[in-house]
């Protein structure tokens, strides 16, 4: 409970910082602040070993989804069929990359990476597909910065709350065992007495 509260507050501060930096430096991050902070938080909170695998998987999904936009701009028609083909190719390639890495790059992190660029750039692309080369790099760097801040908020805060919770749990776990050893009895011994079983 404490971990969830502290991590959530950290993400809230991260989202506010993203918007503040956007206003200060003219980065145009307002429309992706909550999305990117949430996705960065997911990336930081979900456990995976090796830890670098989820970050690399995120970047792989991000790049593949960006290439999906490039494919739509260069080859595919701007229609539902074109979008469906691009979505199929991107998700299939994310799955192939995860399988080729033998689980080091999880599928979920690749999907989070794809969601980040799609959420930040889809509306811009739909309004001006011909401006892909000039507008997509700005959208990509913008959302990556925001996701990075969200990821940083969870990776810095969550381990501290985990260590506090683990220390508290270990203390509470030691107390019943100490009392049990002092009494010289345990639940299993009591069950044996009640049922008349002997060892």
* Per-residue model confidence (pLDDT) at position 106: 94
Report the alpha-carbon distance of residue 78 to residue 193 in Å, rounded. 77
Report the alpha-carbon distance of residue 101 to residue 98 in Å, rounded. 5
Report the alpha-carbon distance of residue 166 to residue 147 in Å, rounded. 28
Report the alpha-carbon distance of residue 131 to residue 134 in Å, rounded. 6
Nearest CA to 116 among 92, 94, 144, 150? 144
Q: Of 84-93, 111-120, 177-186, give the lowest mean pLDDT range.
A: 177-186
20 by DSSP, 3-state: which? helix
**Total-model pTM:** 0.73
Q: In this model, does residue 143 exceed pLDDT 60?
A: yes
119: left (phi over 0), alpha (psi -120 to 50) or beta: alpha
Cβ-contact 151, 38 below 8 angstroms: no
Q: Burial, 108: exposed, middle or buried (Cβ in 10 Å; 0-12, 13-18, 19+)?
A: middle
Our CA angle for 122, 126, 128, nearest 5°, is: 120
Residue 178's pLDDT band, with cuts at 50, 70 and 90, is very low
Report the alpha-carbon distance of residue 63 to residue 61 in Å, rounded. 6
Average pLDDT for residues 67-82, to the nearest whole number? 91
Q: In this model, does residue 193 exceed pLDDT 70?
A: no
Phi, psi of 77 (to 5 degrees): -70, 150
* Per-residue model confidence (pLDDT) at position 170: 52
């Amino acid at each position: 409970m404490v971990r969830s509260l502290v991590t959530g507050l950290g993400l809230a501060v991260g989202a506010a910082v993203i918007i503040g930096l956007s206003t200060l430096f003219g980065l145009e991050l307002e429309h992706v602040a909550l999305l990117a902070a949430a996705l960065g938080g997911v990336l930081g909170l979900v456990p995976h070993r090796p830890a670098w695998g989820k970050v690399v998987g995120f970047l792989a999904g991000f790049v593949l989804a960006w290439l999906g936009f490039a494919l739509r701009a260069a080859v595919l028609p701007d229609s539902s069929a074109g979008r469906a083909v691009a979505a199929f190719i991107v998700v299939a390639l994310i799955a192939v990359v995860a399988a080729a890495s033998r689980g080091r790059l999880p599928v979920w992190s690749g999907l989070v990476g794809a969601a980040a660029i799609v959420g930040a750039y889809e509306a811009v692309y739909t309004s001006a597909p011909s401006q892909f080369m000039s507008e997509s790099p700005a959208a990509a760097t913008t959302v990556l910065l925001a996701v990075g801040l969200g990821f940083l908020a969870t990776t810095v805060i969550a381990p501290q709350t985990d260590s506090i919770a683990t220390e508290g749990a270990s203390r509470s776990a030691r107390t019943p065992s100490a009392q049990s050893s002092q009494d010289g009895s345990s639940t299993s011994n009591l069950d044996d007495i009640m049922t008349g079983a002997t060892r």
